[in-house]
Amino acid sequence: MCAAYLDNNATTMVAPEVREAILPFLGEEYGNPSSMHRLGGKSGLHMEQARQKIAAGLNCDPDEIIFTSCGTESDNTAIFSAIESQPEKRHLVTTRVEHPAVLNVAKHYERKGYDVTYLPVDSRGLFDLAQYRDALRPDTAIVSVMYANNESGVISPIEKMSMIAKERGILFHTDAVQAVGKLPIDLKKLPVDYLALSGHKIHAPKGVGALFLRRNAPFRPFMLGGHQEHGRRGGTENLPGIVGLGTAMELAVKHIDEENTRVRALRDRLEQGLMSAIPDAIVNGDREMRLPNTLSIAFKYIEGEAMLLMLDQFGICASSGSACTSGSLEPSHVLRAMGVPFTYAHGSLRFSLSIYNSDEDVDLVLRELPLIISRLREMSPFRRGDEGLDWVDEHHH
């Protein structure tokens, strides 16, 4: 059992209110929203109410929301739409720190002969806007930049970046999977064409997401099938998931102040406690421009996996690098892009909190992690002489 769950950027627990909202749709409310009879009609009504809740949470029109299966599908659909609808444009701009749901689409188009510019970040995970401006070309089909990074928590200047793209008549997509529910988003003011979000990051179940599609933005369906979602996404809708997502969005809007005050204060206390108790520790990413719930911290001469296994024995759930890339021994692409020194990058942990975390959770980590790290450092082969270490550094830069 998890005593302190601090891995909310990987997934969140389903909120009790969301569970309640879903239950009828796993029971008596089993109609297909496409059916003509009363049961189907009622299901269709519930689906549209959920769409209205999501639109209200993002300040856009309900018909600009398309339900998908996840953030990855939303990201893929947006980029695919922009590229397939402008065959004469053969260039994409994205970043080195994107989620694989965007990076692997860019690589796919690169293999098909497209030009891709991967914007670098500095050591704090921030972009150079002059460099970004210079990367845009007349044949740029789309810019795709994540709203906030899943590993470092660093927030991108999406408003400025999308404005610059707009001035050049270039389509703009943002993967806002980590930002929704943690940062206020107003799509009447933010000039993005496509925005992706995912249910399981905001206390809805896994297997449901949404794509914001601005009314005049070009669109090509990614899923071909029936007439669902006004012909924009075939396949019978995941009604329990959609209803859950609608309720989760309402809750996210309600709790956004708490995320930015109480949750932020918990994160800051965790950070300060670890930094003062553990020597040779650094915070990855900018400390101002970041999500209120995220702390990415690296400890010199340690393996992240060993820390996670020992934390797990105390019921503390965290992650090293990102959940989508863990399992590989290389430091994550995000830490590499930020130039985190190799001796630190390997010992990187991400703590990501939610409104369900408490002071007790932070106390538990502050009690156990310093002891775990001193134990691991005593065992570390890296500490015996620096010659081997120089070799490691040279071979990984």
Which residues, at least 6 apart from 69, have a Cβ–Cβ distance to it below 8 Å?
207, 208, 209, 238
90 beta partners: none
183 beta partners: 180
Helix (H) / strand (E) containing 65: strand 65-68
Which 3 state secondary structure label does DSSP give 194?
A: strand
- As annotated, the active-site residues are 324
Best CA proximity match to 264, nearest among 240, 237, 231, 287: 287
Measured torsion, CA atoms of residues 221, 97, 352, 275, in degrees rounded to the nearest 10: -170
Best CA proximity match to 200, nearest among 372, 354, 373, 25: 354
Which residues, at least 6 apart from 185, have a Cβ–Cβ distance to it below 8 Å?
57, 58, 59, 147, 176, 179, 195
User: Distance (Å, rounded) from C-alpha 269 to C-alpha 328?
Assistant: 30
